[in-house]
Amino acid sequence: MKSFANKVIVITGAGSGMGRAYALEFARHGARLALNDYDPAGLAETVQLLQGSDAGTVFSQACDVGDRDAMYAFAADVKQALGNAHVIINNAGVGGGGQPVWAMTDADYERTLRINFFGVVHGTRAFLPQLLANGEGAIVNISSVFGLVGTPGASDYCASKFAVRGFTESLMVELEESPISVHLVHPGGIRTNIAKGAPNGEEFTRKFLKTDPAYVATEVIRCIRSGKQRIVLGHQSGQVWLLSWALSLERRNRLLYRMLKGMLDPGQYDRVRRRAS
């Protein structure tokens, strides 16, 4: 897909961060926008920022991407308001519980997977028939560099982002001979509020979340146009990508532990060390 003028672009998680950046960037290309977010206030703020832009019609609806029925209803409402979608960007996500495996609850895992993984599944499956009906389109699924390596205190988040990776890579093969392009994004440290409220969230944000979301939006649009399927970008993403394949798993795990040890709760890990000794 080369031009986005007057095309219907669906963006989940559009109330802040990368989702808002995608909306603003596609607006510059004259697209019609269908925006979703769980937070109605953030979504309304994005819609307000789009006023006076080059965007065509802007349709917005607040709902939970992890709710299958709500997402299918959103897809039907988008079709009624704007026509069939041309691009779906499954961007919505949460940061996870931020605790080691033994300190997490079942509810933590269920919530993170419901939003981060099943939100992508629901968004893809709800809008794919519209893309196919148009005879052209693109699916952009947002994983993470934590979909390339596992990190401490993020087992639920990593599991969800590895799942997005597996789902999307399978979809790429299935749609190989179709007019639909599929793109998998592994963002590194992007300056968003993903770590807000997490243990050591402020420190993590200060150290690692440095790349402007607008840069990500620009690069993703470029890759949709070129057909590039895997997109790894953002602060320290290159280093993580290298770690994911260049080192043995044992060496990689030791290195990651040393890098992140200072941000871990000593009390949680002291309990494990005592039991193992």
**Cα distances (angstroms) measured from residue 40 to each of 28, 45, 94, 146, 223:** 23, 9, 16, 28, 30
Question: What ranges make up the beta strands (E) of the chain?
Answer: 8-11, 32-37, 58-62, 87-90, 137-142, 180-187, 230-233
**109 is known as an active-site residue:** no
Q: 3-state DSSP call for residue 53?
A: coil
3-state helix, strand, coil in the chain (%, to 5): 55, 15, 30
Spatial separation of the C-alpha atoms in residues 139 and 151, rounded to whole Å:
27
Q: Which of 22, 72, 109, 157 is catalytic?
A: 157
Spatial separation of the C-alpha atoms in residues 269 and 24, rounded to whole Å:
43
Active-site annotation, residues: 157
